[in-house]
């Protein structure tokens, strides 16, 4: 196939082509076209998306010399119109060109070599051959990249023969594919970088708009550095501003005081949770004493807006206070229904066997050990029937 149009002109958004082959891969129809503006996945850059006539292209992959356009539906042979998802492509061009610039600046000004690149859906990252980077070093790198963006350096692509490439010096490359033959494609940022790359790029560093370093983390003895550029950076900033506006309204604090306001609210929340836990413990003990005073050998109770932890506390306290009794306790809260079957040390009820039967009758599941069985159920519609079965089981022991 001739040089693809996405290599000749990364800004071209559509073309006419002929379907030269078709087939299916893992149940997904595909076509090979005589020409295309859609970039296949490779070199750290995701595949383009678009349409062939009105059929959506869901992936684009190289298979040897062919470029497979994987489709959402089968497509008839003949002449077709190929259209590119341009906003997605331009985003990739911004991120990929930003990566070339970031890598070049990191290597030439700071001696940090790039060993890997990943262009993700929301953020991008490179791996640098340096054990760790301080916040000051990250800021210095970001500022150095910003200088080259403002310089509006031209970005060009060209192809050179294998012999000429072998003689060239100063070309950055992580190596050509093992099956590569023929010319080598170079991407150059004037005065900054020359790199072997088959991806799509901008015409100028000015089109990157801006780049922000988001942070870093240790990775395989080096450092993974996260960044965003261009439209992604503006969208990210807009999302942050929207969240800050919501937080300002909720917390009644300006931006610079939001962390302190959140910390103060969390401290109040922790104090309230501690107080609530103590109150629930007191309530459970009081309820246990009340249930223990009943003469019946089997007691039951139901609570609204209580969690399983409350039932467990109540059950253990009751079993200790009334070792001859058995009890069935249930509750309903936002997370669903829960229940506990418990028996005191002197009660001969087979709690585990009866608990499994109750769980089945409630349409739920559970487990336990010794004299306590706990479980959850989607609802408690069968509670009365389960209680009747338990009473009968106790009477027949």
Same domain, 94 and 79: no
Would 167 be classed as within a structural domain? Answer: yes
Distance of CA 287 to the CA centre of its chain: 45
Domain at 341, CATH number:
3.10.310.40
Would 106 be classed as within a structural domain? Answer: yes
Same domain, 94 and 80: no
Would 262 be classed as within a structural domain? Answer: no
Dist CA 226 CA 99 (whole Å): 11
Same domain, 80 and 94: no
Q: Which residues contact 24 (CB under 8 A, 6 or more apart)?
A: 30
Same domain, 368 and 344: yes
Asked if 388 and 358 touch (Cβ cutoff 8 Å), the reply is no
pLDDT value, residue 179: 65
Same domain, 156 and 21: no
Dist CA 153 CA 314 (whole Å): 73
Same domain, 115 and 202: yes
Same domain, 120 and 60: no
Would 364 be classed as within a structural domain? Answer: yes
Same domain, 109 and 230: yes
Would 263 be classed as within a structural domain? Answer: no
CB environment 290-312: b (16+ within 10 A), e (fewer): ebbeeeebbbbbebeebebebbb
Domain tally, the chain: 3
C-alpha distances in Å from residue 261, one per residue of 165, 241, 246, 257, 275: 60, 17, 13, 6, 21
Cβ-based burial of 147 (10 A; exposed 0-12, middle 13-18, buried ≥19): exposed
Domain at 18, CATH number:
2.40.30.130
Would 315 be classed as within a structural domain? Answer: yes
Of 61, 84, 107, the domain-final residue: 84
Same domain, 293 and 199: no
The alpha carbon torsion through 70, 73, 74, 75 (nearest 10 deg) reads -80
Asked if 325 and 355 touch (Cβ cutoff 8 Å), the reply is no
Q: Are strands 50-52 and 55-63 parallel, antiparallel or unpaired?
A: antiparallel
Neighbours of 213 (CB within 10 A): 20
Of 238, 271, 298, the domain-final residue: 238
Domain at 146, CATH number:
3.30.980.10
Of 84, 108, 126, the domain-final residue: 84
Q: Greatest CA span in the chain, whole angstroms?
A: 100
Would 278 be classed as within a structural domain? Answer: no
Both tokens of 237, joined, read: 């900033």
pTM score? 0.78
Total residue length of the chain: 397
Q: Which domain holds residue 306?
A: 283-395
Residue with tokens 């949770």: 273
pLDDT in tens, the chain (397 residues): 478 999 999 999 999 999 999 999 999 999 999 999 999 998 889 999 999 999 999 999 999 889 999 999 999 889 999 999 999 999 999 999 999 999 999 999 999 999 999 999 999 999 999 999 999 999 999 999 999 999 999 999 999 988 888 888 888 877 666 666 678 899 999 999 999 998 999 999 999 999 999 999 998 899 999 999 999 999 999 999 999 999 999 999 999 999 999 999 999 999 999 999 899 889 989 999 999 998 889 999 999 989 999 999 999 999 999 999 999 999 998 788 999 999 999 998 899 999 999 999 999 999 999 999 999 999 999 999 999 999 988 887 5
Both tokens of 9, joined, read: 């002109």
Dist CA 174 CA 115 (whole Å): 8
């Amino acid at each position: 196939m001739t040089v693809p149009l996405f290599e000749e002109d990364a800004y071209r958004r559509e073309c006419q082509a002929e379907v030269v082959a078709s087939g299916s891969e893992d149940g997904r129809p595909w076509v090979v076209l005589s020409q295309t503006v859609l970039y296949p996945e490779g070199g750290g850059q995701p595949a383009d998306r678009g349409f062939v006539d009105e059929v959506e292209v869901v992936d684009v992959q190289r298979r040897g010399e062919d470029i497979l356009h994987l489709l959402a539906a089968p497509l008839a042979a003949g002449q077709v119109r190929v259209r590119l998802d341009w906003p997605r492509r331009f985003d990739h061009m911004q991120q990929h060109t930003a990566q070339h610039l970031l890598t070049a600046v990191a290597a030439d000004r700071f001696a940090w070599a790039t060993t890997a690149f990943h262009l993700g859906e929301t953020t991008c990252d490179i791996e640098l051959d340096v054990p760790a980077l301080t916040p000051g070093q990250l800021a210095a790198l970001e500022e150095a990249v910003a200088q080259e963006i403002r310089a509006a350096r031209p970005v060009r692509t060209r192809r050179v023969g294998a012999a000429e490439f072998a003689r060239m010096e100063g070309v950055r490359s992580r190596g050509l594919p093992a099956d590569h033959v023929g010319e080598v494609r170079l991407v150059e940022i004037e005065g900054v970088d020359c790199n072997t790359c088959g991806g799509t790029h901008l015409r100028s560093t000015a089109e990157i708009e801006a780049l922000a370093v988001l942070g870093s983390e240790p990775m395989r003895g080096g450092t993974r550095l996260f960044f965003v550029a261009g439209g992604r950076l503006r969208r990210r900033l807009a999302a942050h501003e929207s969240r800050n506006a919501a937080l300002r309204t909720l917390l009644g604090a300006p931006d610079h005081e939001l962390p302190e306001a959140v910390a103060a609210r969390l401290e109040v929340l922790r104090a309230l949770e501690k107080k609530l836990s103590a109150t629930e413990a007191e309530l459970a003990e009081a309820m246990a004493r009340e249930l223990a005073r009943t003469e019946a050998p089997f007691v039951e109770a139901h609570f609204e807006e209580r969690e399983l932890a409350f039932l467990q506390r109540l059950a253990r306290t009751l079993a200790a206070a009334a070792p001859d009794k058995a009890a069935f306790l249930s509750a309903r809260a936002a997370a669903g229904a829960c229940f506990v079957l418990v028996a005191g040390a002197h009660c001969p009820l087979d709690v585990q066997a009866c608990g499994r039967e109750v769980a089945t009758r409630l349409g739920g599941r559970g487990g336990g050990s010794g004299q306590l069985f706990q479980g959850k159920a989607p609802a408690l519609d069968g509670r009365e029937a389960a209680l009747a079965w338990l009473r009968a089981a106790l009477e027949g022991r």
